[in-house]
Amino acid sequence: MTEVQTETGVLAGEERMLIAGELQFTSSGAKFDVVHPASEEVAGQATDGTVEDMARAVGAARRAFDESDWSRDLEFRYHCLTQLHEALERNKERLRRILITEVGCPVSVTASQIESPIEEVKHWTEHGKNFTYLVDNGVHETPLGPARRKIHYEPVGVVGAITPWNVPLYLNIAETVPALMAGNTVVLKPAQLTPWSGSEYGRIVAEETDIPAGVFNVVVSNANEVGAALSADPRVDMITFTGSTATGRAILAAGAPTVKKTLLELGGKSAHIVLDDADFNAALPLAAMMACVMSGQSCILPSRILLPRSRYDEGIQILKTTMEGFPVGDPWTPGNMQGPQISETQREKVLGLIKSGIDSGARLVTGGGIPENLPTGYYTQPTLLADVDPNSQVAQEEIFGPVLTVTPYDTDDEAIAIANNSIYGLSGEVSSADVDRAFGVACRMRTGNVTINGKSHFGINSPFGGTKQSGLGYRNGEEGYKEYLEAKTIGMPD
Point out which span in 123-131, 246-254, 410-418, 483-491 binds ligand NAD (CB under 6 A). Answer: 246-254
Which range binds ligand NAD by CB under 6 A, 42-50, 205-213, 247-255, 373-381? 247-255
Considering the complex, state which of residue 251 and residue 438 has its C-beta at the smaller distance from ligand NAD.
251
Residue 24: closest CA among 62, 50, 44 = 50
Position 340: which residue type? Answer: P
Alpha-carbon span 435 to 351, nearest angstrom: 37
**Would you count residue 343 as binding ligand NAD (CB under 6 A)?**
no
Choose, by CB under 6 A, the member of 14, 330, 398, 412 that binds ligand NAD. Answer: 398
**Parallel/antiparallel/unpaired status of strands 383-386 and 363-366:** antiparallel
Number of residues that bind ligand NAD (CB under 6 A): 28
Among 426, 445, 450, 452, which residue interacts with ligand NAD (rule: CB under 6 A)? 426
Counting contacts by CB under 6 A, is residue 244 touching ligand NAD? yes
Reference 217, options 63, 98, 86, 73; nearest CA is: 63
What distances in angstroms separate CA 257 from CA 58, 236, 244, 260, 392, one per listed residue?
18, 12, 22, 8, 36
Is residue 242 near ligand NAD by the rule CB under 6 A? Answer: yes
- Stretch of 244-252, 281-289, 325-333, 452-460 contacting ligand NAD, by CB under 6 A: 244-252
SS3 assignment, position 10: coil
Exactly one of 95, 299, 350, 442 binds ligand NAD (CB under 6 A); that residue is: 299
Residue 104 binds ligand NAD (CB under 6 A): no
Q: Shortest distance, CB of residue 244 to ligand NAD, whole angstroms?
A: 3
Phi, psi of 139 (to 5 degrees): -100, 135
Q: Is the dihedral of CA 332, 335, 340, 342 positive or negative?
A: positive
Which of 265, 397, 398, 483 is an active site residue?
265
From the list 90-98, 114-122, 261-269, 353-361, the region that binds ligand NAD by CB under 6 A is 261-269
Nearer to ligand NAD, 242 or 447 (CB): 242
Comparing CB distances to ligand NAD, the nearer of 37 and 329 is 37
Out of 37, 425, 466, 480, which residue is the one contacting ligand NAD (CB under 6 A)?
466
- Contacts to ligand NAD from residues 128-187, by CB under 6 A: 162-167
Residues 29, 433: Cα–Cα separation, whole Å: 61
Is 96 or 189 the residue whose CB approaches ligand NAD more closely? 189
Alpha-helical (H) ranges within 209-311 are 224-232, 245-255, 280-292
Q: Which residue lies nearer to ligand NAD by CB, 99 or 284?
A: 99
Does residue 265 touch ligand NAD according to CB under 6 A?
Answer: yes
What is the spatial distance between Cα 342 and Cα 105, in angstroms, rounded to a whole number?
A: 9
265 is catalytic: yes
Q: Which of 438, 441, 285, 309 has the alpha carbon at shortest distance from 386?
A: 309
Which residues is 171 bridged to in the sheet?
Answer: none
Residue 267 as a binder of ligand NAD (CB under 6 A): the answer is yes
Interface pick for ligand NAD out of 110, 125, 192, 447 (rule CB under 6 A) = 192
Asked if residues 135 and 150 have their Cβ atoms less than 8 Å apart, the reply is yes
CB of 182 or CB of 226, closer to ligand NAD: 226
The nearer residue to ligand NAD, 307 or 426, going by C-beta atoms, is 426
Q: Is 370 exposed, middle or buried (0-12, 13-18, 19+ CB in 10 A)?
A: middle
Q: Which of 247, 322, 392, 469 binds ligand NAD (CB under 6 A)?
A: 247
Task: State yes or no: residue 250 binds ligand NAD (CB under 6 A).
Answer: yes
Nearest to 267 by CA among 398, 399, 166, 419: 398
The residue whose Cβ lies closest to ligand NAD is: 227
Q: Which is nearer to ligand NAD, 191 or 354 (CB)?
A: 191
> Torsion-angle region of residue 387: left (phi > 0), alpha (psi -120 to 50) or beta?
left
* Site for ligand NAD contains 231 (CB under 6 A): yes
Residue 141 identity (one-letter amino acid):
E
DSSP structure string for 320-367? HHHHHT--BS-TTSTT--B---SSHHHHHHHHHHHHHHHHTT-EEEE-
List, in sequence order, every beta strand (DSSP E) within 53-131. Answer: none
Min CB(432)–ligand NAD separation in Å = 26
In one-letter notation, the amino acid at residue 484 is: Y
| Shortest Cβ 267–ligand NAD spacing (Å) | 3
State how far the Cα of 104 lies from the Cα of 99, in Å rounded to an integer: 7
The correct pick among 104, 195, 268, 390 for binding ligand NAD (CB under 6 A) is 268
Catalytic center residues: 265
Q: What is the binding site for ligand NAD (CB under 6 A)?
A: 162-167, 189, 191-192, 224, 227-228, 231, 242-244, 247, 250-251, 265-268, 299, 398, 426, 466, 471
